[in-house]
Structure formats: C-alpha cells, structure tokens
Amino acid sequence: MPRTRGRAPDGKGRPDALSQEVIVGAAVALLDEHGERGLTFRLLAKRLDTGPGALYWHVANKDELVALAADQVLGRAFVADPHVEEDAVAGLRALAVAVFDALDLHPWAASHVTAPATLENALRLLDRIGTLVARTGLPAERHFAVSTAISYYITGVSAEIIAPGLSVGTDTSRAAFLTRTAEHWATLDPAEYPFLTGTTTDLRDHDDRDQFTTGLDLLLNGLSATAVPRPLA
C-alpha cells in the first residue's frame, strides 16, 4: 500500500524505521486495550518509541488510522479462506462467519468496515464474494446485486450485532446492555408490542453468532434455491 500523505517528520521520530503496516498493527493492539476513545497519536508514538510527527508521515489523522486498523482486522478473516474446490455457497458461508468472528474479537472495528469497499481488505472481501457468487450459476446480470447484498449483510449486520453496546459507553458490558434493553421491552404495552414483550428472555440470553448465522443461512438458502451450481473449469 502506498504511503499516506501527511506532514513531514518533525525530527523526533524515525519514519524510515516505521511503516504504515507496523503503525496500524500497533494501533489495533491499543484499540483492543483502550477502545477508540482511548487511542491517541501520543500514546501510539510512545508504544512505538518514536515521535508523533513520524506517525503523521504515514497516516494523515486518527480517522484514517482507525479505518486502516479495522481493515487490517478484516484481513485476518482471510486466514479461513475457502478452498477453490469448495461448494460456492458453503464457501460464502465460511467466509461470512470468518469475517464475523474476526470482527467479534475486535468490537471497535465492526462499525468501521464500510460499504462500498475502498480499502484493501474490504475490496478483497467483496471480490471474493463476487467470485463465489459467479460460481453458483446465478445469471451474470444478477452477480453485482447479489454480491453487494451479501457483502452489506456481512458487514452491516456484524456491526449492528457486535457494536451496539459501544454506543452506550465502553464500560457497559454486552450482558448489561441487553439486560437493560430487555427490561425496557418488558415495560412496553403488550397490546401494542406483542412480539417484543414476549421475547425479552430471548433478547437477554441469545447468542450473537447464532443470530448472525440464522440470517445468513436464510440469505444463502435463497441463493441456492435460485442458482444452478456451475462446475469448476
């Protein structure tokens, strides 16, 4: 990846001893430890034993740094890359679950994997999805719509499931957030909200990964029902 434009080194750091990949990797570790609010260039510079000016030589600002860190986390999902001989729908499922699991390990990253894809690993993810969709036998004119819909499900639903607790404060645990929400649902009028008031226990006790894969399977089952598998060349 080409070096990001930024300010020149201030003489305190050693930009030649750094790289964007090293900086972003250290940022991932700090984001895991302190969350997005706790990440500062001063703290990152201290971790890397350099000056803040050297960091700006590689990364323009905090927003770009967090986006690159989230993209690096996304790239770790490709460790579980499906084999080319694998069934295309099974490959899509394995890839989607690998992405969810990677983001679940780094909750701060989930809301920063955006669509349409622009960064390296987000581009790789969409291209991999499209390649697998093309192997299902779906008509070519449907490849873009279906591939982007699957991509939006993977990244968007992961963010919705993994990250909501972050919006109410880093000190609020998932269990506390769900319990508080379930208690609110329980106070609703069952005549107006018959489903919500009847599912408070499910909300409080549900498994996030199971919730993700339930929707994923519905989506992929629909794809399987409308596509004719294409044999590998």
**Is there a single domain that holds both residue 53 and residue 103?**
no
The pLDDT of residue 173 is 77
Choice between 70 and 16, residue whose per-residue pLDDT is larger: 70
The pLDDT of residue 232 is 54
pLDDT band at 32 (very low <50, low <70, confident <90, very high): very high
Res. 11: pLDDT tops 60? no
Residue 66 lies inside a defined structural domain of this protein: no
The pLDDT of residue 117 is 84
Res. 125: pLDDT tops 70? yes
Give the helix/strand (H/E) hosting 209: helix 208-226
Residue 1 lies inside a defined structural domain of this protein: no
Question: Distance between CA atoms of 21 and 3, rounded to whole angstroms?
Answer: 10
**Is there a single domain that holds both residue 131 and residue 47?**
no
pLDDT band at 28 (very low <50, low <70, confident <90, very high): very high
Query: What's the CATH code of the domain at 20?
Result: 1.10.10.60
Query: What's the CATH code of the domain at 94?
Result: 1.10.357.10
**Is there a single domain that holds both residue 95 and residue 170?**
yes
Q: What is the pLDDT of residues 153-209, one digit of tens each?
A: 999 999 999 876 555 555 567 888 889 999 999 999 999 999 999 999 999 999 999
Q: Mean pLDDT, to the nearest integer, of 117-123?
A: 92
**Is there a single domain that holds both residue 156 and residue 56?**
no
**Is there a single domain that holds both residue 45 and residue 97?**
no
Question: Distance between CA atoms of 45 and 208, rounded to whole angstroms?
Answer: 35
Q: What is the pLDDT of residues 81-104, one digit of tens each?
A: 545 557 899 999 999 999 999 999
The pLDDT of residue 177 is 85
**Is the CB of residue 154 less than 8 Å from the CB of residue 113?**
no
Percent of the chain topping pLDDT 70: 83
pTM of the model: 0.84
Residue 233 lies inside a defined structural domain of this protein: no
**Is there a single domain that holds both residue 51 and residue 91?**
no
Residue 232 lies inside a defined structural domain of this protein: no
Percent of the chain topping pLDDT 90: 72
Orientation angle between helical segments 143-152 and 120-134, nearest 10 degrees: 130
Total number of residues shown for the chain: 233
The pLDDT of residue 12 is 47
Orientation angle between helical segments 143-152 and 208-226, nearest 10 degrees: 170
Amino acid identity of residue 72, one-letter, is Q
Mean pLDDT of the chain: 86
Res. 132: pLDDT tops 50? yes
**Is there a single domain that holds both residue 119 and residue 27?**
no
Peptide bond preceding 116: is omega within 30 degrees of 0, i.e. cis? yes
Domain encompassing residue 39: 15-60
Res. 5: pLDDT tops 80? no
The pLDDT of residue 231 is 57
Res. 27: pLDDT tops 80? yes
